[in-house]
Amino acid sequence: MSIYPNISDFLLDNEPSIGSPAIIYDYNSIVSTVSKIRNDIKIIPNVELCFAIKANRNKIVLKLLSDLGLGADVASIHEFEIVEEIGMNPVYSTSPAYNEKFLEKLLERNILPDFNSFSQLKKYVEEYNLNEVGVRVKVPLKNIHPDITYGEQSRFGINIDSDEFIQFINNKKLKIKQLHFHLGELQNSSIIKEAMEYIYSLSYKFQDLEVINIGGGLTYLYSDEIEVKKSWEIVKEYVLQINRQLNREVKIVVEPGMLILAMSGYLYSKVQSSDLSINKRIITVDCSAWNLTYWAYPYLVHSYSDSMNTTEEEHVIFGNTCYEKDVFISSVRHKPLKINDGLLMNPVGAYVNSMARNMHGYHLPDEWILKDSTFIKAGN
């Protein structure tokens, strides 16, 4: 894997003394991941690395990313207000449902929204007399995976080849300054080539184009280093063609969320019960997979146990709600875990607390940053 969890020696040798449950962000791992992505994309002219705030809204973590020079992509007024407070810059935005309050805040900051629907674009162009806009586009793809990669069937984006859209922008003399696409998971270089070829074809139509935002959805791609390199080479070549066609450099924005933080996050939890049932050891921990890991699929990467029994058993690790299918890990071979043993699961750095449920009223885990051998509180 191109980006993968690299557990610090400190976590391997020392059980955290921070209380459980907790989410731990490994500072050195975050820095290393950002550096790796930057190094990969630096071949692309005028490229900007941003973070999709929907993946994690922790202010301390976002300040860390800001200090590393990352900008932000926001989809709600709540995300925008956090970014404003922290001072992340630059800021880009696309959203399925802009309202007046959110849109006005963006326009006050001279942030051009990338409209996600034609009806919203028409409404706000007329309401605010806009003469330049950004657009999230539907990209026609031949080869898609219906569960993770979306083309014209996606509910997101505008069909900018439609007669209605073209007639509207011509009548209003609208300048299309930004094109934004986000296709779910960009699985491989073939998908990226299709998308960039389509964007290149659009550059002939929109001579005022300044920014191309290729979104995120890069985690699947980053499981294959060869595909990573091929993909960024493809992006570079199409960007060079677009620049030649427009006779200037456009800004290229890359704004992953999961890729930047997921592998650097660990869930520390404690075993609350341990019982044998039908040849499996049923483990319940002190937090809930149903509440926390709907978009994360954690693995048990380390345990803190003084058990002398080294005979492995099959374990199922459950969360602490009354939901029958509250399962963190459906099967793992391990020496018998017992009550109060500590567990470390990964990856949980993205799309965990930011989209948590609240069954039984359980509080979210405390969040901490581990920098070398020091734990720094990062919110409750």
Give the CB-side neighbour count of residue 57, counting CA atoms within 13 A. 17
287 has catalytic annotation: no
3-state helix/strand/coil string of 28-71: HHHHHHHHHHHHHHCCCCCEEEEEEHHHCCCHHHHHHHHHCCCE
Q: Say if CB 375 and CB 369 are below 8 A apart.
A: yes
- Is the distance from CB of 22 to CB of 348 less than 8 angstroms? no
Q: What is the dihedral of CA 104, 260, 45, 206, to 10 degrees?
A: -40
- Total length of the chain: 380
Residue from 308, 322, 333, 372 carrying the catalytic annotation: 322
Neighbours of 55 (CB within 10 A): 23
Q: For residue 343, give the H/E element and its range.
A: strand 342-346
State the sign of the Cα–Cα–Cα–Cα dihedral 120, 186, 144, 167.
Answer: positive
CB 185 within 8 A of CB 221: yes
DSSP characters over 93-154 = EEESS--HHHHHHHHHTTPPEEE--HHHHHHHHHHHT-SEEEEEB----SS--TTTB-STT-
Task: Provide the annotated active-site residues.
Answer: 322
